[in-house]
């Protein structure tokens, strides 16, 4: 991480969902912290100044669902390329999923991963521990030991727990360790072989689909495990995609938190017709009814977090076609623009709601010192031009991944500057300092 310097961000519309602030102010950063939020015009000697007039000044975004691929799949992404992409997308904190080789399933492996984050990361990166030894879905790991080593959550993402007994034990261990368990909701018996949503389009294209039931059945299985515990375990449901899952959440009293992803809020399964394997992810894009339900769930607070599920693959892998290509798309560099364009500009969600889902809510849920512009907090700040239109050009991504269904789309809202820990890392939309 580069060294902090004094920075003053002048005259922007400062929006902090954590404190409720939404006013034109100057933001003063010193010694790696938010030093003051003051009326415009106050001069401070020795400060690097950024003119944010007409722009938004917001907390650095927090993504709790990112696949950085390192170690083991550096041909797809590395910590350096993934966190550089995060910076350019406005994310100053990311949480790395554990489906790596080897996975972070021991304190030693977690320590090694954290050293790598510190050595090559461009933004803050936090490890999520593997639920089972070797991600083999058999023996549960020591959640308390992984937390002590630095994990901010535990997850079975991509290597799902198979039985009710495993789910109950995982929730028990999470409760005892006081660490969030992130569950990937998929019934593999129903989803097996499905490459997109099961519906009219999958039948038209002649490919196997995944019914909506594959997600909601697993959500209900996690609820059954949850209900068997006397205390309320810290459960979080990853990347929800269906209206049926939203309805289960609505009826789940004092239930878990949940996230959805920008692509489920912006697209439907019709995107597969145009983009093929670059619109193939798991869970798959669903119907217009599902998209509308997810948007409403965010508006109502039933779903409180937006996470990208950034999942880079090589162009050769995605070129295998819809049936053979791996699941996943990249999202760090497009997420904010997609959300601004599809949700904020049409008035579906307010700026404050969107920024909360992308910063303060995930930070609070996962216990991160982030997502706020309150005085004394780490100086992780972004400046966004909400009026700037730009075209998604995957060849210009910082990520190694080019696999996106948003290629060629015009988006509204561009990250112009990023400060991490008081250090100016992005200026005029370009990286100006190395995290290496």
H or E stretch covering 28: strand 21-30
Supply 72's token pair: 């083991």
- DSSP conformation letters of 57-81: EEEPEEEEEE---TTT-TTT--HHH
Fold of 7-57+379-431: Urease, subunit C; domain 1 (2.30.40)
- For residue 390, the SS3 value is strand
Lowest-pLDDT range of 1-15, 104-118, 192-206: 1-15
Amino acid 436: pLDDT: 39
Provide CATH code, domain 60-365: 3.20.20.140
Amino acid 44: pLDDT: 74
Supply 124's token pair: 């803050």
Confidence of residue 42 (pLDDT cuts 50, 70, 90): confident
Lowest-pLDDT range of 40-54, 337-351, 412-426: 40-54
Amino acid 175: pLDDT: 96
Amino acid 232: pLDDT: 84
Amino acid 231: pLDDT: 79
Given a cut of 50, whether residue 209 has pLDDT beyond it is yes
- For residue 266, the SS3 value is helix
Amino acid 433: pLDDT: 64
C-alpha to C-alpha distance for 298 and 237, rounded to whole angstroms: 14
Question: pLDDT tens digits, residue range 285-313?
Answer: 999 999 999 999 999 999 999 999 999 99
Q: What is the mean pLDDT of the chain?
A: 96
User: Is 380 among the residues known to form the active site?
Assistant: no
Confidence of residue 435 (pLDDT cuts 50, 70, 90): very low
Confidence of residue 3 (pLDDT cuts 50, 70, 90): low
Amino acid 2: pLDDT: 59
Given a cut of 70, whether residue 267 has pLDDT beyond it is yes
Given a cut of 70, whether residue 103 has pLDDT beyond it is yes
Question: pLDDT tens digits, residue range 220-231?
Answer: 999 999 988 777
Q: Where are the domains of the chain?
A: 7-57+379-431, 60-365
15-44 per-residue burial string, b: 16 or more CB within 10 A, e: under 16 = bbbbbebbeebbbbbbebbbbebeeeeeeb
Of the listed 159, 290, 309, 380, which one is catalytic? 309
Supply 179's token pair: 């660490």
The pTM of the full predicted model, rounded to 2 decimals, is 0.97
Q: Return the biggest CA–CA distance within the chain.
A: 66
């Amino acid at each position: 991480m580069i060294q902090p310097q004094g920075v003053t961000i002048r005259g922007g519309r400062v929006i902090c969902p954590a404190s409720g602030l939404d006013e034109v102010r100057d933001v003063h950063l010193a010694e790696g912290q938010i030093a003051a939020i003051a009326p415009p015009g106050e001069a401070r000697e020795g400060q690097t100044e950024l003119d944010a007039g007409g722009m938004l000044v917001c907390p650095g975004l927090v993504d709790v669902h990112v696949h950085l691929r390192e170690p083991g799949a550096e041909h797809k992404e590395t910590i350096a390329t993934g966190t550089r992409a995060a910076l350019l997308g406005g994310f100053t904190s990311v949480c790395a999923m554990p489906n790596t080789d080897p996975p972070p399933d021991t304190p030693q492996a977690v320590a090694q991963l954290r050293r790598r984050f510190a050595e090559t990361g461009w933004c803050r990166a936090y490890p999520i521990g593997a639920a089972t030894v070797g991600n083999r879905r058999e023996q549960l790991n020591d959640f308390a030991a992984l937390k002590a080593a630095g994990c901010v959550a535990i997850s079975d993402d991509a290597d799902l727990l198979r039985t009710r007994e495993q789910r109950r034990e995982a929730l028990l261990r999470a409760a005892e360790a006081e660490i969030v368990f992130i569950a990937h909701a998929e019934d593999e018996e129903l989803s097996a072989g499905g490459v997109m949503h099961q519906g009219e389009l999958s039948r038209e294209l002649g490919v196997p689909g995944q019914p909506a039931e594959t997600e909601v059945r697993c959500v209900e299985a996690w609820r059954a495990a949850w209900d068997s515990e006397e205390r309320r375990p810290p459960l979080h449901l990853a990347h929800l995609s269906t209206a049926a899952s939203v309805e289960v959440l609505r009826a789940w009293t004092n239930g878990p938190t949940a996230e959805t992803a920008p692509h489920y809020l912006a697209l439907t399964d019709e995107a597969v017709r145009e983009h093929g394997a670059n619109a193939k992810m798991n869970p798959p894009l669903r119907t217009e009814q599902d998209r509308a339900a997810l948007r409403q769930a965010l508006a109502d607070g039933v779903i409180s977090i937006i996470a990208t599920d950034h999942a880079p693959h090589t162009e050769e892998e995605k070129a295998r076609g819809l049936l053979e290509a791996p699941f996943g798309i990249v999202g760090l560099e497009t997420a904010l623009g997609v959300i601004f364009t599809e949700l904020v500009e049409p008035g579906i969600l307010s700026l404050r709601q969107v920024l909360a889902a992308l910063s303060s809510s995930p930070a609070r849920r996962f216990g991160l010192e982030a997502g706020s512009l309150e005085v004394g907090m780490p100086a992780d700040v972004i400046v966004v031009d909400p009026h700037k239109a730009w075209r998604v050009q995957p060849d210009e991504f910082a990520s190694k991944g080019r696999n996106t269904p948003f290629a060629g789309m015009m988006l509204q809202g561009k990250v112009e500057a990023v400060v991490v820990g008081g250090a100016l890392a992005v200026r005029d939309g370009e990286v100006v300092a190395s995290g290496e």
